Structure 1
């Protein structure tokens, strides 16, 4: 059973987003004489704005979307994230004079990357970058206070809702994506479960939650029972990869994406980003006490 109002609005939004991402953006920024995209920076910003507008249709309205860097109280800083979904009610405005925005890891609900056509090598770079940024989920001070979550016992690295969800949106996978479920293990850097101490190792739980290719389909995971799920692991079990391509239902991958993005950001545990943990040592000074 479905609500025809919501479904028709969703289809309209998908059509506008898909056409704008694939066609309008190229028509605006493509130089026929030079046979290439000009103003690549503005081209990327335009596509990111299309993604933001699309996301706003189905994620909770109490969340906001921006771009910027993740920081932690343990002095980590991520590479720039194209999309940061966060709770503005608990997120301080850490911003430099150049308007670069820095987000404390505790109040982030999801991070995403926006790409055009991806070769296999570019795809590998994108998912590993996303995974390394997601790994900052664990870089919390001891016993952070839970603001919203399923338990009040602090951070649990094996709890799927405590890790920051990650997603990738691209126009097209410019390689044989039908082999992707079988090749994905080789595209990620080595799993740290292998007892390696390499900084490049990517633990399985840091892998993407959802990859949406507008032209090709959606890439996520197959849980026990055969259901597509947006989590690489559940209760310590590694879920196998699954790619779903559109058929007669040309919107199937978008429907999965909108449903699971709502689930991911709504279920994310939020912690208190204690400013005292982010600033330098609070001590010293000349104190004068009341008699």
Structure 2
């Protein structure tokens, strides 16, 4: 069973997203006389905003999206993230003078990389960048859980909901895709842990790269409770919306189930030693 209204709305959102990302962005920023893009930086930002508009339809309304860097209280900082999904209610505004934003890993719900056409080498580079970003999920010295689906403590080694989901969205994978599910692991650097690998790769033209669990059901987690999930590559056949719909369903699951932690500012700031203090003295009764 399905709901005709929602299905129609979703298909409309997908169609608008595909058109804006694939055609409109290039038409706006391509200079036919020079045979190249004008303002490539603005072109990238335009596409990132198109992705944000699409993702807003798929994630809880309590979350927000922006661009910036992830930081930890253990003095780590990520490379720049094209899209950061975060909880605005619990995220302090860490911002530089030039308006670069920094997000504590505790309140980040997803990170996305946005690309155009990727060669095999470029694809591998993007996957490894996302894996390094996801690894920062574990760089929390004193985790304090505010919300979690299960009643267990913070355990990113075994619970994938404690890790920041990472996704890659691109126009096309420009290499031979036959056997992609078989050689995808070869694109990762040897020290990348299985649990830190991508959650989903959405190629607009090619399909969706995600996983299946032990029972053969669709999954968006590379590892669950220490069990490696198998890679699944799904591509459109008679239904051009099929891989987008699978992506949409998993996107909601990833963000709804993500563990929310408290970003303790005292662990982010430097030492408070060196100041002086004066306390009120309690008067003793006679």
TM superposition score category, shorter chain reference: over 0.9
Contact map agreement 2:70 2:104 (CA 8 A) in 1: yes
Structure 2 residues without counterparts, runs of 5 or longer: 282-286
Q: How does 1:1-291 map to 2 (within 5 A)?
A: 1-142=1-142, 144-149=143-148, 150-151=150-151, 153-190=153-190, 201-291=191-281
Q: Deviations over 1:200-246 (max 9, x none)?
A: x2111000000000011000112112112100011211111110000
Q: Distance in 1 between matches of 2:102 and 2:16?
A: 31
CA-CA distance at 1:156 after TM superposition: 3.5
Contact map agreement 1:146 1:152 (CA 8 A) in 2: no
**Higher alpha-carbon deviation: 222-231 or 43-52:** 222-231
Q: Deviations over 1:116-170 (max 9, x none)?
A: 000101101000001001100000013x110010225234421110000000000
Larger Rg: 2
Contact map agreement 2:154 2:162 (CA 8 A) in 1: no
Q: Distance in 2 between matches of 1:148 and 1:290?
A: 37
3-state DSSP of counterpart to 2:85: strand
Structure 1 residues without counterparts, runs of 5 or longer: 191-200
CA-CA distance at 1:247 after TM superposition: 0.9
Contact map agreement 2:212 2:219 (CA 8 A) in 1: yes
3-state DSSP of counterpart to 2:162: coil
Contact map agreement 1:118 1:172 (CA 8 A) in 2: yes
Contact map agreement 1:178 1:243 (CA 8 A) in 2: no
CA-CA distance at 1:289 after TM superposition: 2.3
**RMSD, aligned CA:** 1.0
3-state DSSP of counterpart to 1:125: helix
Q: Which aligned segments of 4 or more residues in structure 1 are displaced greater than 4 angstroms?
A: none
Q: Distance in 1 between matches of 2:227 and 2:155?
A: 19
Report what 1:194 is aligned to.
none
3-state DSSP of counterpart to 1:58: coil
Contact map agreement 1:90 1:107 (CA 8 A) in 2: yes
Contact map agreement 2:157 2:226 (CA 8 A) in 1: no
Q: Deviations over 1:41-82 (max 9, x none)?
A: 000000000000001112110000000000000000000000
Q: TM-score w.r.t. structure 1 length? A: 0.94
Contact map agreement 1:221 1:242 (CA 8 A) in 2: yes
CA-CA distance at 1:286 after TM superposition: 1.6
Q: Distance in 2 between matches of 1:155 and 1:205?
A: 12
How many residues in Structure 1 have an aligned counterpart in Structure 2?
280
Q: Distance in 1 between matches of 2:96 and 2:173?
A: 35
